[in-house]
Amino acid sequence: MRLNGRDLSGAVMTSGLNASRRRSRVRPSRYTQSMVAVTVSLMVALSAIFFAVSAYVDYQHYIAETTTSAENLTQALAEHAHQSFRAVTLVADAVSDSYSGRSDGAATHRAFQATLNNLTMAIPQVAAILVLDQNGDVVVSSPPLMAPANFADHDYFSLHRDHAALGPVIGRPSRDRDDGPWLIPVSERLKAATGDFVGVVVVCTESAYFQEFYAALAADALDVIALHSLDGTLLARRPVNDALLGRNVADSPMFRRILSELPRGRAEDLLMF
């Protein structure tokens, strides 16, 4: 083909070849497309695996931190209970020694009453102190009772009366009236120089003392912290639930499991509560 005396057939053919080459570069082959798709899929899969592994590692780290925090909290609670009841038993020991060594007389009685009052006011764990004679009658108390009272029907009284070698006993919490405080009795045998039973010293601590401590430690309003004696009796609980205090959960599977894991030893080596 000639235009203005020039042969254009070669130009046209060359142009067509260049266009074909350009089209071949723009349109990748099916193999290339497949490889791109596989690569993208692998990247997505690897990203998903990476995020899954990261989430699992973060979760395990969270569980480890939570477990450590729970264990630390449990140890702090156990130590608080141990020290609190230790303080109460030391007061019972002091009252027992003081009462056994006192002489009769009104002046001595007033001095002893003042001693009990001072102990009750000075030690935050102590809410009340009772001294019972061999019949269960209250001889002296702090705060003073408004009327004569007898506690011979309480479990701790018969336990100390019938078991000379029994140490301090943590009893079931109770209260005198519906709106009164829940009191946890810690009792100890009173004995004469001959070892004969002459009465019982009862030092009471309030469930509220422990519940206020638990409230300060709880991280969430739904957190439940409970203190049980070894026989399964609920002594204190946060959140407070008066309907549960004093109940026994000794038959529950969780309590039996926890009890089976506790260390064993002599009573004088372990403060059992």
Q: What is the DSSP string of 61-72?
A: HHHHHHHHHHHH
∠ CA(262), CA(201), CA(123), 5° rounding? 75
Amino acid at site 254:
M
Q: What integer pLDDT is reported at residue 69 of this predicted model? A: 64
Q: Is the pTM value of this prediction over 0.75?
A: no
Q: What integer pLDDT is reported at residue 39 of this predicted model? A: 57
CA–CA gap between residue 217 and residue 211 (Å, rounded): 10
Q: What integer pLDDT is reported at residue 47 of this predicted model? A: 58
Name the stretches of the chain with pLDDT < 50.
1-4, 6-17, 19-20, 22-24, 56, 59, 62-63, 264-273
Q: What integer pLDDT is reported at residue 62 of this predicted model? A: 45
CA–CA gap between residue 174 and residue 96 (Å, rounded): 23
Q: What integer pLDDT is reported at residue 209 of this predicted model? A: 93
Crossing angle of helices 106-122 and 30-100, in 10° steps, is: 170
Q: What integer pLDDT is reported at residue 11 of this predicted model? A: 44
Q: What integer pLDDT is reported at residue 19 of this predicted model? A: 47
Query: Which residues lie below 8 Å from residue 215, measured CB to CB, with a gap of 6+?
Result: 238
Q: What integer pLDDT is reported at residue 268 of this predicted model? A: 33
3-state secondary structure (DSSP) of residue 7: strand
